[in-house]
Structure formats: structure tokens, C-alpha cells
Structure 1
Amino acid sequence: MKTIIFNKNRIITVVFWAILAIAFWSQMAHDFPILPAAYVTIILFSGAIASAHILSNHLLPKAIASGNMKIFVVQCVVITLVLNIILAGSSVSIYWLLIHGTLGDSATISIHYSNFWPTFVSAIPSAVLINSTACGLRFYQEHEKIEKNHALLKQEHLVAQLRILQDQINPHLMFNVLNHIHILMQKNVELASVLLVKFSDILRYQLYECNQESVLLEREVQYLKDLVAVERIRWGDELKVDCIWNIKDGKRYILPLLLVPFVENAFKHVSRLPYEKGYVTLILKQQDDELIFTIENSNSVQQPRKNNSHGLGLDNVKKRLELLYPNQHQLNIEKTTHLFSVALTIQLHQTK
């Protein structure tokens, strides 16, 4: 069974013309006998449809596309005058052809329809109302179409921008892991083998799952755990790494690779002083619809960050948050002489 789809704009147009037809018929049936009233109504309605069709379906879309509305105003005035002539001329013609001198003639009808110019003047509001309403409806439809196209282009631009931002993450992360494996293969082959297994999971996630707009939270968390495991292997006893994972509903959705730059940044810039053991503390917990992520690493004034910046990765993730979590996230970054910390709270999505 076919589903009936109602087009809002089409319904509005049909209602408008139905009301206009009823209005024409009511006025003519009040003044003329039934047959002449039917003739006049058909002529008036046909003229109204023709003028409105020319203006709203042909001239107005061209004017909007070209941006030249001055010519359209002139065209609108000319066609409205033509419609006004049709409205007045048809009424006067029917009067003289079918009603004058018959039993249906009267002084009142003669006053209103025997003279063209008074009838022409009295018909001006009707002609203006018909064309202006038809053009108004068409302008609304064109505006709605432009808004939809604009929203579509904006969405396509958003997707393209997010793809660029995501592509900036993947190569950097992959080269880091490969470099870790290369170093370990020269020192501890068994440990390098373990790292290769972790790297295969990381690579599989990046290649087959991160091309989606959003991923399951449980998969993103597992990915982060693999990254942290890689860093634990690389640093060994030189770095204290503490993690707390408290995820209650892993079936929620999150942007892929959203938290990776924070993790990378913490291990990249953790203090490396010979007399001081650095640390990285990561906490990821879920409270109802909120995901709360905090990560802190030791910092040292003797090992300043270049240009005091957070790096491309953090700027990248800020842009992604602004694009896809507008008014749905809170990000705080704190840097002191002894620590660097990030606290992020986002509203999780239930569906893709």
C-alpha cells in the first residue's frame, strides 16, 4: 500500500486558489445570474492563474537567481495591470453581452459594471492581492529551497572539514607507534612482538572504524587503552602511569579519535628530568549522559613547551568539539610550572 506524502507548499497553494475561486464565485453569483456568473468566474480565475503562473513560476525564480529584482518589479506592475484589465474587462463585457436589457439587469448592477474605468479602479486591490500573494508563496518556497541547499552545503563542508582534521591525527599517531616498535626491536624482540599486536588493533580501528561519523564508546575506550599500553611499554619504569576506566554504557556514541590528541600530548610533553620521575594520570568515567575525561601530566619549567603552545593536536580537537558538540561540551586546559591538565565533559550521543 502506497504511503500518501503531503507536500506542505502544494497544500498551501491549493488552499489559496480554492479560496480565491470561492471568492470569485460568491461575488459574481451575488451580482449576476448563475450562467453569466459562471462565465465571469471562469474568465477571472483563468486570468488570475495565468498572471500568477507567469510571475511566480517564471519571472520571480529568474529574478532571484540573477539578483535583479528591479526588472521583476516592473514586470510585476505590468502583469498586474494586465490582470486588472482582464478582471474589469470580463465583468463589463459579460454585463453588456448577457445582462444589459434583460430581467437580471438592475440599476445597482449597471452602476458597478456598465462603465469600464470605475470597474477597472475597483478591481485594482484584487489584482494586486492575487499577484502579491502568489509571488509571496513562491518566494517562501524559493527561500525554503535556498535554506535547504545552504544547510546541505554547510553539512558537506562540515564533513569535509572534519575529514581533514581527522586525517591530521591518523598519520601522526601511526608514525609514533611505528617508531616505538622500531626502537624496541633493537632492545627487546619479545616486547616488540607484544607491541605489534597492540599496533595491529590500533591500525584496524583506524582503518575500518574511524571513517564513520561516530563510533561506539566501548570501541573508543579500548583504543585508548591500547594506546596507553603502548606508552607503558615504551616508557617502562621511567614513568608512572595511572588510569581509571569507569564506563557504564559502552553502547553510546562518540566522535572517533576525539580524545587521542590529549593522550598523545600528555605522553609527549611529560617531564623527563633525571632526578624526577614523571607521571601521567588518566581518568575516564561516565555519569548518565555525560562523559568526563581528565588527564594530567607532570610538567617542568626546565623543559618548556615550544612557543608555550598545546600543539596542533589540541587545536585540532578544539575545532572538532566546536563543530560537532556545540553547547554540549566543556573543555578546561590548565598549565602550571609543575603540571599540565585537561578536563573535558561532553554530552554523549545515544545514536549515530
Structure 2
Amino acid sequence: MTKSFVLKEYLFTFIFWLVLAIVLWFNFQSTTETYLAMTQAAIIAAFSFTFTHFLTNKLLPKALREKKMKRFLIQLIMVIFMLSLVFSIIFTYLEVEPKDQLPENFRDQLPFLWKGFYMSLPASFLINGAACGVKFYNEHGRIERDHILLQQAHLENQLKLLQDQINPHVVFNILNHIHILMKKDTQLADYLLLKFSDILRYQLYHCNENLVFLNKDIEHIQNLVEVEKLRWGNELDVKESWEITHKKLFIAPLLLVAFIENAFKYVCRLPGHEGYVEIICKEENNTLYFCVENSYSDIAIHKKKDRTGGIGLHNVQKRLKLQYPDSHDLKIETNNNVFKVTLILKLSDHNE
């Protein structure tokens, strides 16, 4: 429970009882002397607070925990009767008339006490009902706040899990490329190892934040594309277009990586087929347009159905729903052996 929430609860309770005491004082002052009216109001407010505090802070929470509300209703009625009895004693023995007008015999005073008790029942019921209402209101606010905190923690855990699923996959692919090239072209492997260090540095030191600068994330993607281009050489036709005008925009880290990986993983490389990958990245008016298109073969896709190729795009869709629920438009199209992913994303220039 946060300090601000506790402070608001105490402040609300204090104002409630202060207003009640002032209302009682004004009501009594019309028929009673000022000092006596103040005394009656203070005594009634004190007893009311004591009884209702016990009711709402002891009996009610216990009834809610044990789910025994019927027992609480009986306890509520008993408290109302007890508080009405206290009111009756106050109204009977602290009246405007002198005390000697009351019968000396206690048995003869019972009608006065009974009348005061009967007249006090509505007030006692309203006071206890209002106190229980205030308590229910505070409990509802506390439950709602806890629910929001749990929901935020759950979303953060989901995002962390999805991001952790992406990072090892990226590292594995690049290490596998370098391992193959070490046997064929050590100079190229050395260059790719430098690129890999930049990629790994970005993932280790920048991707722990919820949002990163767009230009840094795009630079990371460009390094990945460069690795793939150098690996496949002339076997693939790779076209790129990068237009980022606002470099201080923020984006969720590693959100776009899966599109690049998916394109190079499933691009057609069968003999006699010319594969291509086309990447268009454009930012305008705080809106990112990201499109990745690649050729593919039904045979190649069928062979990789039992692999984990679909995890990347599936994770991106989850992350977009969690982090950009109302500010993204994702289209995945397959037509004539062409696979195309188009993402339109509304970005912010605040790291929130």
C-alpha cells in the first residue's frame, strides 16, 4: 500500500467525521445552548467513531476474509442498537430542561430512554451505513489499485519473456554464420565477428529498457541485414531503403528483428530460383512504415514447418498487442510465392 493511498484514506475519514460533527453541532445549536450543543456533538461523534471503527476495521474485514457476511449483518444490527442506546442516554440526560424534571425513579425514566432509543435508530443506521459505505469504497479503490499493479507486473513479465525468446535466437543465427565462414573465408568471418560484437553490445546494454531510440534500433537492424548480405553474397538480391528523419523517437527494442530474420530464413534459395529480400523503412510525422518482402517456395516452407520459424512473428504480434494496442497496424500477406509483412507504427518522442 503506497503512502499516498494511505494518506488519502485517512484524510477522507477525517473529513467525513469532521463534517458529521459540524452537522450535529448546527442541529443541536438550534434548540440547545452553544456549549451544550458542542458537548453533545463531540460525545456523539466520539462514540460513533469508536463503534463504527470497530465495525469497519475489525468485523467487516474479518467477515470479508472468512466470507461470512450473514454473521456480519447480525453484528451490524447489534452495533446499531448499541449506538442507539448511547444516543438515547445522551439525549435523555443532556437536554435543555434541567435534570430535576426527569423522574427520580429509574423505572419511570425508561419511557424517556425508550423514546430516545427509538428516535436514534435512523441516525445510528445512517452513520453505520455511511461508514460501511466509505470502507467499501476504500476497499474497492485498494483492490482496483492492486489489480492494476498486478496487471502491470504481468505485462512486464510477458514482455520480458517474449524479448528473452528473441535474443537467443538472434545470437544463435549470427554465431552459426560465423562458424560456417571460419572454414571458408576467415577475413569475412573476422568482419562479421566485429559486426556481431556491435549487435551483442546493443542487446546487452540497450535492450533492458522498455523503449530505445529509433535510430539505434534501426542501426542494429542494418547490422543484421549486413551480416545476411555478406553471408549469402550473390545468391540473394537484397534491396534496402532507410529514411529516418526524426532520430529521437522511441520504440520497443528488438521489435522489428523478427521480420528481418523471417525474411532471410524463408527466402527462396532453391536451384533455378532467384531469391530476393526487399526492406523499406520510412519514418514521417512520428509514424514508422516498415515493410519486408521476400520470395519463398512452398517446398522450402514445408520443410521448415517442424522448426521454430513461426515463433518470431508470433512473438511480435503478442508484443504489439501488449505495447502498442491502439497504435499499430500489422498486415501479413502471402501471394504468388511472395511473403510480405507491413507494419505501420505510431511512435512517441517520450520515453514512457
Aligned mate of 2:150, from 133, 153, 157: 153
- SS of the equivalent of 1:250 reads coil
Percent of paired sites with the same residue:
42
Deviations 1:224-261 (A, max 9, x none): 00000000001100000011111111211111110111
Q: Aligned partner of 2:11: which letter?
A: I
Structure 1 residue 211: deviation in Å?
A: 1.4
Q: Quote the RMSD (CA, aligned, Å).
A: 2.4
Structure 1 residue 97: deviation in Å?
A: 8.6
In the alignment, is the contact (CA less than 8 A) between 2:93 and 2:99 conserved in 1? no
Q: Aligned partner of 1:70: which letter?
A: K
Q: 1:27 to 1:241 in 2, by over 3 A?
A: same
Structure 1 residue 5: deviation in Å?
A: 11
Aligned twin of 1:55:
55
Q: Aligned partner of 1:69: which letter?
A: M
- Give the whole-Å Cα distance in 1 for the aligned partners of 2:87 and 2:143: 34
- Give the whole-Å Cα distance in 2 for the aligned partners of 1:48 and 1:252: 58
- SS of the equivalent of 1:31 reads coil
Aligned twin of 1:22:
22
Aligned twin of 1:322:
321
Q: Aligned partner of 1:119: which letter?
A: G
1:158-307 to 2 correspondence within 5 Å? Answer: 158-305=155-302, 306-307=304-305
- Give the whole-Å Cα distance in 1 for the aligned partners of 2:97 and 2:47: 19
Q: Aligned partner of 2:151: which letter?
A: K
Aligned twin of 2:90:
90
Deviations 1:10-38 (A, max 9, x none): 33323221221112112222223344433
Aligned twin of 1:39:
39
Q: 1:135 to 1:221 in 2, by over 3 A?
A: same
- SS of the equivalent of 1:304 reads helix
- Give the whole-Å Cα distance in 2 for the aligned partners of 1:42 and 1:302: 87
Structure 2: gaps of 5 or more residues: 103-109
Q: Aligned partner of 1:313: which letter?
A: G
In the alignment, is the contact (CA less than 8 A) between 2:9 and 2:138 conserved in 1? yes
Aligned mate of 1:137, from 134, 137, 140: 134
Aligned twin of 1:110:
none
- SS of the equivalent of 2:258 reads helix
Aligned twin of 2:338:
339
Deviations 1:298-327 (A, max 9, x none): 022343344599601111111111111111
- Give the whole-Å Cα distance in 2 for the aligned partners of 1:77 and 1:340: 71
Question: How many residue pairs were aligned?
Answer: 339
Structure 1: gaps of 5 or more residues: 103-112
TM-score by length of 1: 0.90
- Give the whole-Å Cα distance in 1 for the aligned partners of 2:203 and 2:37: 75
